[in-house]
Amino acid sequence: MTKPRFRRIMLKVGGEAMIGNRTYGIDHEAALKVANKIKKIYVKHVQVAIVIGGGNIFRGVAGSKKGIDRTAADYMGMLATVMNGLALQDALEKIEVPARLQSALQMPAVAENYIRRRAIRHMEKGRVVILAAGTGVPYVTTDTGAALHALELHCDVLMKATKVAGVYNQDPLKNPQAKRFKTLNFKDAIEMTGITVMDTAALAMSQENSMPIMVLKLFEQNQLERAIDGEEIGTYVSNNVKTEFAE
């Protein structure tokens, strides 16, 4: 077995990964598909923490634009991530991957309270930790929550699983001529217009604390597993690389 490139990772998964063929909500088969991707790296003895979004159910920012108070909308979005976290925990356990759901909002009937040392201990004992409800406060995205938790839990890398195979100079879903970055310096990721990695707060936090970010496509050609094995997959964002396009 190939020695994993990373010992402990933070995986940011968008809520859209749970939607499957539906237009809204959670599809059990989609949740199992995500769980099986995670199992492929779990069996390599990689410690895994997951921050999951809630966009398949409710987005706080979108809700606030439609007239809902921003604070209320953000809390609604946090609750959506708890629902996704419960579905993913169930899917992981069904394929014999032990998992624990922790929530930044207190709801002991369905999830543990988020406690940093407990989360680390779970991973050390071979359990996947799912972190829901963001940071527990409004006006903070799940991207920023993922960056914060990656630092708190001493992860080696923050992996963002998306619908596209990395970071491009243009939207690849709209322009097939868009070019993918192989590596991207944090300074360029923050300052360049027209590209999207994560929100600025998440990038700035990762840059300041030298937390590398990998952006890859979750459901394509075992990209997650190959990245763990050390292949140059997706886009690697760091303070220690030059900005270069993939060949």
For residue 16, give the DSSP letter: G
Pairing, β 157-162 against β 112-113:
unpaired
Among residues 131, 136, 139, 145, the alpha carbon closest in space to that of 202 is found at 145
| Domain assignment present for 108 | yes
Structure tokens at 177: 């001529």
For residue 112, what pLDDT is reported?
98
| Domain assignment present for 132 | yes
| Domain assignment present for 208 | yes
Model confidence over 34-89: pLDDT tens digits? 999 999 999 999 999 999 999 999 988 787 888 999 999 999 999 999 999 999 99
| Domain assignment present for 3 | no
Cβ atoms of 16 and 55 closer than 8 Å: yes
Average pLDDT on 164-181 reads 89
CB within 8 Å of 196: residues ≥ 6 apart: 167
> pTM to 2 decimals?
0.94
| Domain assignment present for 197 | yes
> What are the start-end ranges of the H helices in the chain?
28-42, 60-65, 70-94, 116-124, 142-152, 186-191, 200-208, 223-228
Number of alpha carbons in the 13 Å side-chain half-sphere of residue 6: 26
How many structural domains compose the chain? 1
Mean of all residue pLDDT scores within the chain? 94
| Domain assignment present for 118 | yes
For residue 1, what pLDDT is reported?
59
Model confidence over 120-153: pLDDT tens digits? 999 999 999 999 999 999 999 999 999 999 999 9
For residue 74, what pLDDT is reported?
94
CB within 8 Å of 211: residues ≥ 6 apart: 147, 150, 151, 155, 157, 158, 205
CATH classification of the domain holding 76: 3.40.1160.10
| Domain assignment present for 125 | yes
| Domain assignment present for 149 | yes
Domain limits for position 47: 8-245
- Pick the residue with more confidence: 222 or 49? 49
